Amino acid sequence: MRILFLGDVVGRPGRECVVSRLPDLVSDWKLDLVVVNGENAAGGFGITEAIYGEIIAAGADAITLGNHAFDQREALVFIERAPALVRPMNYPPGTPGRGAALVEAKNGARVLVMNVMGRVFMDPLDDPFAALDRALDGAALGEMVDAVVVDVHAETTSEKQAIGHHCDGRASLVVGTHTHVPTADYRILSGGTAYMTDAGMCGAYDGVIGMDKEEPLRRFTRKLASGRFEPATGPGTLSGVAVETDDRTGLAVRVAAVRLGAGLEEARPAFWA
Ligand SMILES: [Fe+2]
Ligand SMILES: [Fe+2]
């Protein structure tokens, strides 16, 4: 199975590069499953129903979220009728939506897509390790589901790596989001799970993690907020990770970085060339 995961879509530049490039990537690379993190898709903060529809129409099979999941209040309502929209699973009981979704891939495969949030330098949520155990217990890879994708929305590299190892052998891919900077540590862990600490963002890289650089610089240098954070303008660059899995086991056999656009050195999976 061919899986593409794209990191946090930030504002209009992020949406434009995903919506314009994804349809061709799906056909050129014969993708079976596309998962996109959409927590910053609406002006940098959250997601609207219209944007959810736009990214799905471009070829995403599931959209994951994070700490900005409900910044657009309408998400609290429309998430219930958006079956492929996945918010962090370790929010308190009663939070609208779902933290795990069983989606049908383009090749008909059954895929469990999960979103979990870390707790180091983040909001104090329920234990992400226990939440993953509960979800994975009911979804044996290669038996009950054909693939498992885990989006770890967390601040620290250590917590993300620990969650990767915790899921090793039980997931096809564990990939980090939230920090918006692609890491070079994409690899297959010893148990067969593809892993990358941060998928990077889909957005304008001439900024501070996707935001226009003026206000972040003012806040760092003068310690005073003097404006709103706005997404950086300029061309968007798409960033994520490509994984090929074994059809029988659901585990990863190949992994590569994906970076397309002017903001970063380009990277494409050689095994799909
Ligand atoms: Fe983000
Ligand atoms: Fe985030």
Annotated catalytic residue, options 68, 166, 178, 180: 68
For residue 188, the model assigns a pLDDT of: 98
CA 65 to centroid of ligand 2, rounded, Å: 8
What is the CB-side half-sphere exposure of residue 211 using CA atoms within 13 A? 17
Q: CB count, 10 Å around CB of 213? A: 12
Residue 225: pLDDT over 90: no
For residue 42, the model assigns a pLDDT of: 98
Residue 226: pLDDT over 90: no
Percent of the chain with pLDDT over 70: 100
- φ, ψ of residue 192 in degrees (nearest 5): 105, 5
pLDDT tens per residue across span 21-46: 999 999 999 999 999 999 999 999 99
CA 185 to centroid of ligand 2, rounded, Å: 20
CA 60 to centroid of ligand 2, rounded, Å: 19
Nearest ligand by distance to the CA of 180: 1
Q: How far apart are CA 23 and CA 220, in angstroms?
A: 39
| Residues in Cβ contact with 26 at an 8 Å cutoff, skipping those fewer than 6 apart | 34, 59, 106
| Residues in Cβ contact with 210 at an 8 Å cutoff, skipping those fewer than 6 apart | 8, 10, 11, 13, 14, 40, 44, 180, 201, 203, 204, 231, 232
pLDDT tens per residue across span 87-131: 999 999 999 999 999 999 999 999 999 999 999 999 999 999 999
Looking at residue 37, its amino acid is N
Whether 166 is catalytic is: no
Please state the pTM of the whole predicted model. Answer: 0.98
Asked if 31 contacts 273 with a C-beta cutoff of 8 angstroms, the reply is: no
